[in-house]
Chains A and B, each alone.
Chain A
Amino acid sequence: MAIARRKFDAVIVGAGGAGMRAALQLSEAGLKVAVLSKVFPTRSHTVAAQGGIAAALGNVTEDNWHWHMYDTVKGSDYLGDQDAIEFMCRQANEVVYELEHFGMPFDRLENGKIYQRPFGGMSQNFGGAQATRSCAAADRTGHAMLHTLYQRNVRANTQFFVEWMGLDLIRDEQGDVLGVTALEMETGEVMVLQAKATLFATGGAGRIFHASTNAFINTGDGLGMAARAGIPLEDMEFWQFHPTGVYGVGVLISEAVRGEGGYLLNKDGERFMQRYAPHAKDLASRDVVSRALTTEIKEGRGCGKDADHLLLKLDHLGADVINMRLPGIREIAIKFAQVDPINEPIPVAPTAHYMMGGIPSNFHGQVVAPYKTGPEEVVQGFYAVGECACVSVHGANRLGTNSLLDIVVFGRAAGNQIIEDLKKNPHHKPLPADATDKVLARLARLDAQKDGENVAQVGTDLRKTMQAHCGVFRFADMLKQGVTKIGEVAERVAQTEIKDKSRVFNTARVEALELDNLVEVALATMVSAEARNESRGAHARDDFPQRDDDKWLKHTLYFSEGRRLDYKPVRLKPLTVESFPPKPRVY
């Protein structure tokens, strides 16, 4: 079968905030860039980000980037790479002002400056008073940002391939990345998109868990493609459980609720967070708050007939504040929890939210993997930014509002790096003869499969296994069984069958291909978690409750082939300032 081929300077897979910020940089530099997205760009999951984007503008309280850097390092439980964190926090103000200049509709203070609100884990003066650092457009900051970036790309005439799914990476014998194969969903055609630079901005994979704030499209496609191409996945045991998903549904209730003054209550009406984080209380780091909720439930102080959730109270903020600052939250609570938060608290429970791990990359957006010279060797032609990447600025736990910052800082940085790299490498390398063999075999297997299993059923079993064996608290025996169980799921994934054989907009085929990616992420997560014998950030082991810097101050690297683990050091040395050495983490 002859496969159509197109050539571009750069191919970007994913059109969320990270992909579109990078695309803008490349389009404005006059490069020929193709941006692939499974959904129309404004439907990417960045749209669901609510509370804000972190930057030490100091519009409300005194602030500076160095304090922000300290908070991010501490929030990461010292697993974050301090060069990348310095890079991000130093650029924060500039990228936020840039978004404002692009037209992003931020809320405003009386003096006309960008409105900022407090968020968890953010402090002044290296752990002092609460900082007010999150720049917000009501509780729809992600929506405002994503639409603005799309609009700016319309102005720059960026070429989008809407409703195209990336299938696999193309690498040559040297390991260089030369582009991707992709599926046009409307026609069912497979195409080779050849590129001098291939950038993944495919977002998260929260759909490996049964209870998740994530959109259906968050299936870790970039991670699956990278893993199948021999690229390791970094720190996959670290998943953020957001403290406040709507109970029973999982839809996100922003930390902005607590930033504006809301707080959590148990069945006795007690503000229990003061027992877990006497200083920061409800605005402690998310890992700390999620463990507190889980402990309250476990110890019988949960609410409702099954004592399995807590309450988020905000009625005391008053109707005006709720309608002006949290209108989207009110809408979600009414629709999904059947309560109007102006009068009643919202039932909430910890819910899988964000993947701190991902494709190993540096702060220029280049993918790095062990090859000949060490773990930081650049994979030529391959870049990754946003949630699919592990830079690592979030380490073992991300601070709220640092994700929107991450995507614009590193989207822009990767764009700039690609522009420089293309000056040195102006020509396409020849494609290997077998560039499409594996992906075509995978598609042919799916189309020909008889008596196979239903994709939805296998997917449900995958999500339930992850939920039961790899949640907020982790237990040695459960993890061990989890590795076996998820391995069994992986065998079933290889035998899935779809009844729908149509070429036209075949979403059954898309979902089967997504499951191929989900299972790579699930395996990486379970295997990495089972091996890490300590508690750090979001990885909380019942049998190893303490952080162990002597043995475990290092990044995990998971290789799909042989399900093998390796490790690499944390980059503790910042770019210009003194390192923040690990110390006990209290809020």
Chain B
Amino acid sequence: MRFSIYRYDPDKDDKPYMQDYDIELEPSDRMLLDALIRIKSIDDSLSLRRSCREGVCGSDAMNINGRNGLACITPVAGLKEPVELRPLPGLPVIRDLIVDMTQFFKQYHSIKPYLINNDPPPETERLQSPEEKAELDGAYECILCACCTTACPSFWWNPDKFVGPAGLLQAYRFLADSRDQASAERLDNLEDPYRLFRCHSIMNCVDACPKGLNPTSAIGKIKDMMVKRTV
């Protein structure tokens, strides 16, 4: 199978280049990550992140034939050849397929991604109905892979000012939690021309999410909350 992979090692390369590989896959190499590991066993300088190999840790996000996705849950069968692999767009490249995610996590941290409840905790669990819990479904499952945020043109233009779909999905996860008491503070934190409102519902994020989550819908709900509190 033929691959064309973005290579850049700042230790030795003046500029990035695309390297071609043509390798024989084994029948057990079903996912793109399996193929990349086979390439790495031949050329150990190819650098990428990977861990769980089952789509729950979020390490191996990359741009695959022009779309962001996780290598470990992308079947090689059906990929157009040569398979063109690049690092996630919009973030600085450290080396090869490894990007610097500092800006992504800075935005995640900016939404105060933790439950705020200042009441003394009860002796047992805080009660929450199944319906209240269901409000968190589709939001808490995010694996912070950055496929969505780095597919978003609004983030490319303003990575320092726009929270981005992943961060906003988590902002919604805490706004929607019946146990959280900081809704007003959370909405204040997003009431800004950039942080929330740079989302123009382009919906690349929905297309890119390997977990089938819908950040655009969550962002819409946050916008509704903003409107409701002003009227």
- Where the two chains meet, the residues of A that have a C-beta atom closer than 8 Å to any C-beta of B are 39-40, 42-45, 47-48, 57, 93, 96-97, 100-103, 105-114, 137, 140, 143-144, 147, 151-152, 154-155, 186, 215-217, 248-249, 251-252, 328, 331-332, 335-336, 454-457, 498-500, 502-508, 511
Contact = CB atoms under 8 A, between A and B. Distances in A.
B54 A251 contact: yes
A545 to B, nearest CB: 34
7 contacts: A105-B133, A107-B130, A108-B132, A154-B113, A215-B51, A502-B11, A508-B40
Nearest to A500: B45
Contacts of B18: none
A154 B140 contact: no
Most buried by B among A48, A96, A215, A216: A216
B41 interface: yes
Interface in B119-134: 121, 123-130, 132-133
Interface stretch (B94-102, B201-209, B218-226): B94-102
A108 B128 contact: yes
A265 B144 CA distance: 37
B40 A456 contact: yes
Contact of A335 (B55, B98, B123): B55
B82 interface: no
Interface in B78-127: 94-96, 98, 101, 105, 109, 112-115, 117, 121, 123-127
Contact of A504 (B10, B58, B123): B10
Contact of A101 (B10, B126, B174, B177): B126
A216 B140 contact: no
A248 B30 CA distance: 11
B113 A151 contact: yes
A423 to B, nearest CB: 27
Interface string B39-82: 01101110111111111111100000000000001010000000
Interface residues on B, range: 35 or more
Contact of B59 (A39, A108, A506): A39
B140 A112 contact: no
Contact of B57 (A47, A454, A455): A47
Interface of B: 9-12, 28, 30, 40-41, 43-45, 47-59, 73, 75, 94-96, 98, 101, 105, 109, 112-115, 117, 121, 123-130, 132-133, 136, 140-141, 143-144, 174, 177, 179-180
Nearest to A137: B140
Contacts of B127: 111-113
Contact of B98 (A42, A108, A505): A505
B115 A103 contact: yes
B124 A97 contact: yes
A108 B141 contact: no
B54 A332 contact: yes
Contacts of A252: 54
B128 A151 contact: no
A507 B47 contact: yes
A114 B129 CA distance: 10
A45 B101 CA distance: 20
B148 to A, nearest CB: 15
Given A105-B133, A500-B44, A504-B10, A43 B113 contact: no
Given A110-B130, A154-B109, A331 B44 contact: no
A100 B179 CA distance: 10
Contacts of A503: 11
A306 B41 CA distance: 29
A295 to B, nearest CB: 26
A109 to B, nearest CB: 7
B123 A97 contact: yes
A151 B180 CA distance: 14
A265 B82 CA distance: 42
Most buried by B among A43, A113, A331, A336: A43
A48 B48 CA distance: 20
Given A42-B144, A504-B95, A100 B125 contact: yes
A96 B45 CA distance: 44
A331 B209 CA distance: 14
Most buried by A among B49, B112, B125, B179: B125
A42 B141 CA distance: 12
B179 A103 contact: yes
A318 to B, nearest CB: 17
A558 to B, nearest CB: 28
A504 B94 contact: yes
